[in-house]
Structure 1
Amino acid sequence: MLKAVLIPLAVMAMAIAAALWLGGPGPIAPMASINEPFAKVDFSAVPPNSHYTARDGTQLAWLHYPPANPGSATRRAVLVHGSSARGRSMHPMAQALAAAGFDVAALDLRGHGDSGERGHIAYIGQLEDDLEDFMTTQAWPGPTTLLGFSSGGGFVLRFAADARASLFDRYLLLSPFLHQASPTKRPGNDDWVSIGLPRIVGLSILNALGITAFNHLPTLRFGLNDVAREQLTEQYDHSLATNFRPHSDYASDIRRIQQPLRIVAGTEDELFDAARFASVFKEAGHAVPVTLVPGANHMGLTLDATALQAVVAAANLE
């Protein structure tokens, strides 16, 4: 009887050990449509880093874009970048929102840019704690909209379903990542990220048992070129990969939304099927307004003039 129990446990333990050791993300070629558009962006006017102190004492970086007419802003916009990126990747959008009268904060989320060790966070849920700490330490007297792009949009959805969601009175998702199995993901389009699925499965089993000691192991690697690699984050550990997205039951996140929420996406998005966002949210039980920008691809949503106008318009709507 004891042998019948111990042998399967030993086999499972060996399988998990092998997954942790050998099952990480493999090499991935740079994805041109993600890397190349930024070569044409003028970053000369990016403001110097501002910082706030998170609850663990870490200094986290953010960029402040005051409104074009000082003292005129009645609303703040807090921007969350996409996977691998940092606050400066949202520079054109931050400028457009500031020109439209918003007081803008573009964050380097922990594990990105100049906020802590790139690719790592201490625990799943730390990103939500950091965002709460930003709102507490950098208090704004008026209403605030939280905007997130791509994986950042997925994280913004996660926060909109959180108990602290009332820290923001509006939410705007920009071509958000929902889930690898969501109908919005274009089939077979895995050119941007290499996924260490065996390691993810092994770590998920251990996490379910309360064992998080191996969550520092990388599970995602992004298709960066040599130039982008100097500025961006090449890989995520398991904690960051799990935290910087919606919960696995993303439909439950959608149902828990309380504040007004909108979506903006480009019709030519090569990663996500923008036309399906409306139906996915409706089927999950919470229909939301969706703006589709003709001709905009994934990165174009944050860079093209027409797309930026659509984002500013959506941010201004009740």
Structure 2
Amino acid sequence: MTGRHLDLRSFKIPLGKLAPLETFKTRQGDVLSYRFYPAWCEDLIVLYHGVGSDSRYMCVLASALAKAGYANVVTPDFRCHGASLNSSDRISPNQLDIDLEELLIHIKMQRAVARITLAGHSLGGGFTLRIATSDLRTQFAKFVALAPRLPEHLQAFYPGHGGWISVREDGGFVVNMPEALRSGQEKLTYSKEFLVAASPSEDVLEKLKTLAPPLKVFTGAEDEVDIPDRHSELFTKARIPVEILPELNHLTIVSKPDSYLSRF
């Protein structure tokens, strides 16, 4: 299948919408980071980012959700991103699950929390599917996956991932971010161990069909990494609501969310 090319040159992070970076210490002694977007309610959305960058690029979507009053929004930095960028990403298969639990404990100690939604984009969307089919799913009222990364055998992404990712022989991959766009805060290499910890299981679609979690999937019709028609086919078969959003691509799905915000 002919692919598309992911072009980052027009993607900007509006600093005026960016919440300050905050950190917390886990019970394992690690320091992890996040950003918090407040709203006048007790609902909470935990919104995870994808590869290469960190919680910064989720600021438009996060601030829009909070400003509209849908929920308070926390955008965590995955371990080995943000404040922990330089730590080793050779982690255990359940480490990111543990980090999520630690984050929830921390947030609940800071403020009253009612219903919690887990959401994510790209790799973060895949992590959302992972949690939605795990024992941790009971902690969440619903799930939202934006252009979620699916297991390779499902053939749900274009060859070369839109030029964004190069897969290594050891099972890890390299992010092909142009030199001119780098700030030194990016994570450009990923180990196989990290990807295993962030990814849904190989039988995720069967689990979704059996467990029927309260999940929505959104993918842009112009996505350059994931194949929109394939997402529509796979999630429909798994009986999961999926919406293909006109005119949006892999990045504008988080930078231009107005067309679907009310259905989040």
TM-score over 0.5 for the alignment? yes
Could you tell me the percent identity over the aligned residues?
26
Q: What are the equivalent positions in structure 2 for 1:79-90 lying under 5 Å apart?
A: 79-90=47-58
Q: What are the equivalent positions in structure 2 for 1:123-202 lying under 5 Å apart?
A: 123-139=92-108, 140-187=112-159, 189=161, 191-197=163-169, 199-200=170-171
Relative to structure 1, is the Cα distance of residues 311 and 232 closer, same or farther in structure 2, using a 3 angstrom cutoff? Answer: farther
- 1:87 is matched by which residue type in structure 2? S
Alpha-carbon displacement from aligned partner over 1:63-109 (angstroms, at most 9, x marks no partner): 01112xxxx22421111001122111101111111111121101101
Are residue 296 (structure 1) and residue 248 (structure 2) matched?
yes
State the Cα distance separating 1:309 from its structure 2 match.
Answer: 2.0
Kindly indicate whether the alpha-carbon contact (under 8 Å) linking 1:135 and 1:167 is maintained by their aligned counterparts in 2.
Answer: no
**Whole-Å Cα distance in 2 between the matches of residues 62 and 257 of structure 1?**
30
Kindly indicate whether the alpha-carbon contact (under 8 Å) linking 1:111 and 1:240 is maintained by their aligned counterparts in 2.
Answer: no
Q: Please, which of 46, 52, 73 is the counterpart of residue 24 of structure 2?
A: 52
- 1:133 is matched by which residue type in structure 2? E
Q: What are the equivalent positions in structure 2 for 1:165-314 lying under 5 Å apart?
A: 165-187=137-159, 189=161, 191-197=163-169, 199-200=170-171, 219-226=172-179, 227-228=181-182, 230-255=184-209, 257-283=211-237, 286-304=238-256, 308-314=257-263
Relative to structure 1, is the Cα distance of residues 262 and 246 closer, same or farther in structure 2, using a 3 angstrom cutoff? Answer: same
User: Is the partner of 1:33 in helix, strand or coil?
Assistant: coil
Relative to structure 1, is the Cα distance of residues 238 and 183 closer, same or farther in structure 2, using a 3 angstrom cutoff? Answer: closer
Q: Identify unmatched segments of 5+ residues in structure 2.
A: none
Kindly indicate whether the alpha-carbon contact (under 8 Å) linking 1:118 and 1:233 is maintained by their aligned counterparts in 2.
Answer: no
| Cross-structure match for 1:10 | none
Relative to structure 1, is the Cα distance of residues 91 and 118 closer, same or farther in structure 2, using a 3 angstrom cutoff? Answer: farther
- Rg larger for: 1
Relative to structure 1, is the Cα distance of residues 268 and 99 closer, same or farther in structure 2, using a 3 angstrom cutoff? Answer: same
Structure 1 vs Structure 2 CA RMSD: 2.1
Normalised to the residue count of structure 1, the TM-score between the two structures is 0.74
| Cross-structure match for 2:8 | 35
Kindly indicate whether the alpha-carbon contact (under 8 Å) linking 2:5 and 2:162 is maintained by their aligned counterparts in 1.
Answer: no
User: Is the partner of 1:231 in helix, strand or coil?
Assistant: coil
Q: What are the equivalent positions in structure 2 for 1:33-112 lying under 5 Å apart?
A: 33-38=6-11, 40-67=12-39, 72-101=40-69, 102-112=71-81
| Cross-structure match for 1:16 | none
**Whole-Å Cα distance in 2 between the matches of residues 32 and 279 of structure 1?**
22
Kindly indicate whether the alpha-carbon contact (under 8 Å) linking 2:232 and 2:243 is maintained by their aligned counterparts in 1.
Answer: no
Kindly indicate whether the alpha-carbon contact (under 8 Å) linking 2:208 and 2:240 is maintained by their aligned counterparts in 1.
Answer: no
Normalised to the residue count of structure 2, the TM-score between the two structures is 0.88
User: Is the partner of 1:177 in helix, strand or coil?
Assistant: coil
Kindly indicate whether the alpha-carbon contact (under 8 Å) linking 2:222 and 2:246 is maintained by their aligned counterparts in 1.
Answer: yes
State the Cα distance separating 1:232 from its structure 2 match.
Answer: 1.4
Kindly indicate whether the alpha-carbon contact (under 8 Å) linking 1:112 and 1:119 is maintained by their aligned counterparts in 2.
Answer: no
Kindly indicate whether the alpha-carbon contact (under 8 Å) linking 2:236 and 2:242 is maintained by their aligned counterparts in 1.
Answer: no
**Whole-Å Cα distance in 2 between the matches of residues 262 and 136 of structure 1?**
25
